Amino acid sequence: MKVNKEISCYTCENKCDIYDVLEHNATDLLNVKPVHVTFKKNEIICKQGNNVTHGIYIVSGTAKLLIEGINHRYIILHILKPHNYVGLLSFFESHKYLYSVYALEECKVCMVDIGFIKNLYRENRQFLCKLNEAFGKSVAMIMKKLITLNQKNIRGRFADSLLYLAELNKSKSFNLLLTRKELGEFCAISEENIVRLLSEFKNEKIIDVNKKHINIIDEVLLRKISEVG
């Protein structure tokens, strides 16, 4: 973890919603005082149960957002990429993170004091709406996950995850940053069964797998499986 306070929104190459909103207000922009922090692979960006002190915005890299359940078992809810907010969900609720975020590869994030964000939220209607919208989407997504994990069989869940990752990477061919175990935590399947499903889908000519690289060959069929299992 490496901290850099010597940055300014004016010269930032990764302008975020906050900048967009403040663009016309020089005084506020001067007060933002953003901090860039670089996390190495596997480092904790935020930890479930800890106080929410900052709004966090992914500048570069990839991270996993997970809830820590019983007996050190996890459910990965999201894979975060640049321009995603971390801590959104927790912002509304009390003051503790409801989940943890870990870097899957080197990650640079921009942190803004939560007090500043709350003020902005209260005073700026545009910001309020943007944040609400993003928040609403997260909730919709969790509810969808609840249905998926509960009512689909492992083939359906697995297909869902592959489609999610393809969309995330904006390509049918992508590099898996997750281990087999983590992929399991993403669709609530045991590590062993993930391995079996990978070769099963490969045999059925639905995907191509080579170590960490996945290529979706038959997207139509994958969508069908996601629906009917």
Partner DNA sequence: AATTAACATTGATTTATATCAACTTATTTA
Partner DNA sequence: TAAATAAGTTGATATAAATCAATGTTAATT
Contact footprint for DNA (CB under 7 A): 153-155, 179-181, 188-193, 195-196, 198-199, 211-212
For residue 151, the minimal CB distance to a second copy (Å) is 5
- Contacting residue, 152, 155, 157, 172, with a second copy by CB under 8 A: 152
Q: Under the criterion CB under 8 A, does residue 151 sit at the interface with a second copy?
A: yes
Q: Under the criterion CB under 8 A, does residue 7 sit at the interface with a second copy?
A: no
Closest CA relative to residue 153, chosen from 89, 225, 81:
225
Q: In this structure, what DSSP letter does residue 160 have? A: H
Residue 157 phi/psi, 5-degree rounding, is: -65, -40
Q: Residues 58, 78: contact at Cβ < 8 Å?
A: no
End-to-end CA distance of the chain: 42
Task: Output Rg (C-alpha) for the chain, integer angstroms.
Answer: 19
Q: Under the criterion CB under 8 A, does residue 89 sit at the interface with a second copy?
A: yes
Cα 48 to Cα 46: distance, rounded to the nearest angstrom: 7
Query: Which residues 180-209 are close enough to bind a second copy by CB under 8 A?
Result: 188
Q: Under the criterion CB under 8 A, does residue 128 sit at the interface with a second copy?
A: yes
Using the minimum distance from each CB to DNA, give the nearer residue, 25 or 153: 153
Cα 139 to Cα 142: distance, rounded to the nearest angstrom: 5
Question: Site for a second copy (CB under 8 A): how many residues?
Answer: 33
Helical segments of 44-153, H only: 88-92, 114-123, 125-151
Using the minimum distance from each CB to DNA, give the nearer residue, 28 or 185: 185
For residue 67, the partner it binds in DNA, a second copy, none, with Cβ less than 5 to 8 A by kind, is: a second copy
Q: Which stretch binds a second copy (CB under 8 A): 4-12, 21-29, 65-73, 190-198?
A: 65-73
Sheet order of strands, 100-103 included: 44-46, 100-103, 63-68, 74-80
Q: Under the criterion CB under 8 A, does residue 1 sit at the interface with a second copy?
A: no
For residue 209, the minimal CB distance to DNA (Å) is 7
Q: Under the criterion CB under 8 A, does residue 172 sit at the interface with a second copy?
A: no
Q: Under the criterion CB under 8 A, does residue 75 sit at the interface with a second copy?
A: yes
Residue keyed to tokens 């969808």: 144
Q: Under the criterion CB under 8 A, does residue 72 sit at the interface with a second copy?
A: no
For residue 84, the minimal CB distance to a second copy (Å) is 17
Helix (H) or strand (E) holding 175: strand 173-175
